[in-house]
Amino acid sequence: MIRRRRRWIAGAVTTLLLAAAVAATAIAFPSVAATTCPGCYGLERLRPGLYAEPGLPPAARRHVTEVVEQAGKRVSDFFGGRKSSPDVLVCLSEDCYRRIGGGRERGIAVLNRSVMLSPRGVDPVIASHELTHVELHARLGGADVPQWFDEGLAVLVSDDPRYLAPTGDRCLRDSRRPLPATLEEWLRAASADPLLYADAACRVSRQAGTNGGEQAVRTLVERLSAGQPFPDIRLPAAGSPSP
């Protein structure tokens, strides 16, 4: 009897600790909690893996669905298919986005597993940028890449006109300076100079262009996932011949 009671007490304590941990996560990291349980934050499922704030008119629901489909196609076309299938949470009001833990960004990849889009990010460019982060890390299988490569690739896949020239050499800014390698360094530097995204995209796009295009990027990612170290990528000059 005493043993059973001890077991009951231990189980109750464990349950309380788990509940406290869940509550603490929801308070401290609402975006993680929201992507884990979108319905808990009042989001409505539009289709498997896609959630939006409730009460949207049919036209808005169609727009959200079309944006995510277009973004997914950009990622799939670049990588030759997709290995990731992240949940996408979409807000068309700032109140909704704040409630699920969003900030001033247009969109964000949460733990490289889910994507949240703000009212300013319901666009194929922003959506495909964030989906690229998730797809890249799904393919890397735990391997690390410098943050500038992660961001530059996302700009390239999303074909972001803010940071890429429309045709030819895609570089808008030809910077030779070292680029931030860690997420913390990147966030700090990019907040001071948004065109850092153009620098990173220039480096990735020009390197890909001189080594076979999109296939070169896919091959690099495959090698990294197999354990090879990230290469010392130096920015080729515009118009450099292919090796």
Amino acid at 69: E
If pLDDT is split at 50, 70 and 90, which confidence band does 231 have? confident
| pLDDT tens by residue, 42-61 | 999 999 999 999 999 999 99
Asked if residue 195 has pLDDT above 90, the reply is yes
Contact between residue 233 and residue 199 where contact means Cβ atoms under 8 Å apart: no
Residue 208 confidence (pLDDT): 86
Q: Does domain 30-139 have CATH number 3.30.2010?
A: yes
3-state SS record for the chain: CHHHHHHHHHHHHHHHHHHHHHHHHHHHCHHHHHHHCHHHHCCEEEECCEEECCCCCHHHHHHHHHHHHHHHHHHHHHHCCCCCCCCEEECCCHHHHHHCCCCCCCEEEECCCEEEECHHHCCHHHHHHHHHHHHHHHHHCCCCCCHHHHHHHHHHHHCCCCCECCCCCCECCCCCCCCCCCHHHHHHHHHHCCCHHHHHHHHHHHHHHCCCCHHHHHHHHHHHHCCCCCCCCCCCCCCCCCC
| pLDDT tens by residue, 73-125 | 999 999 999 999 999 999 999 999 999 999 999 999 999 889 999 999 999 99
Contact between residue 198 and residue 177 where contact means Cβ atoms under 8 Å apart: no
How much is the average pLDDT of 30-37?
A: 91
If pLDDT is split at 50, 70 and 90, which confidence band does 213 have? confident
Q: Where are the domains of the chain?
A: 30-139, 141-233
What is the average pLDDT score of the chain? 86
If pLDDT is split at 50, 70 and 90, which confidence band does 219 have? very high
Higher pLDDT pick, 138 / 232: 138
Pairing of strands 50-52, 44-47: antiparallel
Structure tokens at 26: 């929801």
